[in-house]
Structure 1
């Protein structure tokens, strides 16, 4: 056995420290995260059921929203159940292979959120700028191709980073100051040369994140130009209202991503990184169903039918 293999085999599990090491805070965080996770699952499940049950919502916009709700629920499920289970059982460990598996799906669903927001921005661009050709441009085949392409790209990207992580050696230090197995804290624990991993994160990983964001910006620049050419104020408000919910979700998602990965004051902080990660892994998936349902009459009507109530007084 080589030295590298011996080092890697010496670490069979990692310790996830979570968000707090104080018992009183841990109990409070358990109740808080349990409530938030139930809200995420219930909220996104209702969105999926409402869209599936109402034939009027079988359009490209709601098709992408349905996929986004599914991805949001899965995104949070990669980390929160494990964190809650560890608290109940009084353990902090996660196996080496379990950690890589969690990292793999965390990257997959994070990328899918990113891609779907870009696809939805393109959908809104076509709806506002080419309303007469919307049905032909946004065909079922194209919608399916966009979603399938997103899944394939996300899985390939995640597989790349997971395989690069699996080749590294991990020595005595196995404590992760986080509540999940993310790429950055794992690289800090490795006793191997992580130059290739870092290079791929800065090049391929950055490209995966930046390209959809640029597409979203380009779409909304075109949308703004098109709306400003609309003569009536009512027409402008109607055009902007079709994009309002998506724009709010985009701002929330990328705002939290920037706070985590592009803020120099928190980029190397073991205390701030987990707390900031909560924003886009827990808070954003929880708020997305409320943002879309609050601003959409058709979706509110579909939700009333699903819940079997004539009045949806909460909203």
Structure 2
């Protein structure tokens, strides 16, 4: 299982406080590139994984239920590269819009913009470069997927402002971060069936779960500066809400499996796919047993553990393609 990370009070000069120690950016990246890679969170890959996982769910469930195609290998690889690029562009945009807020929060004041490692103009150029590279990948897909990809930009643009006007910014993050479930399914099949919509909803519930945990790291600073979050909204009732999001994730994910396999007449494939959802639930249950919402290090550890939770169903879903 994931080990609890250290949460230093202050980052060494030029580093980011909540980045893993001895990450590749700090160790190996050229000095001039480090501020921009940090803007992209390349030193913290968990966000890329969380953006990629719904794409993998969609490809594995659609392929497992209806059969894989040679094109799907490119879709999997390109989704991984695209997740890295779009997560980087989104995080850069987030840091541009939040630079004044980040300067007031202990965990984020060491980020490149509030700490002076990068300029706003440089960050804007870097954001555009990443978005254009991602667009080059997107335009290799069918037109439905391209349209969905372009539409996702509205969610990416709005998300950083959500915590200023709603207590539910995690909903906006969920809408943006799980869009890949719809896009990848469309790229695979040329359509967005009800199973894809249910999978998208499952991803949103999962994001509400893990990002509420993440937000508990900053709830005291957020209260001081007036930033809204579900962690602040739920307060002492957070664990009850987390159990609810946990249950909603599994129910909606199971519904996606049922819809994807309906009428296929392959009971073993269906059972194996559902077993993947059950296995993910076991991991989430382990997380809830270990979670201490009053300990920032515990919150960060459990947040990062969701990479493993999200990947667990993928081989089960994919294996269904070869089972009767």
Higher relative contact order (CA 8 A, sep 6+): 1
TM over 0.5: no
- Report the TM-score, using the length of structure 1 for normalisation: 0.41
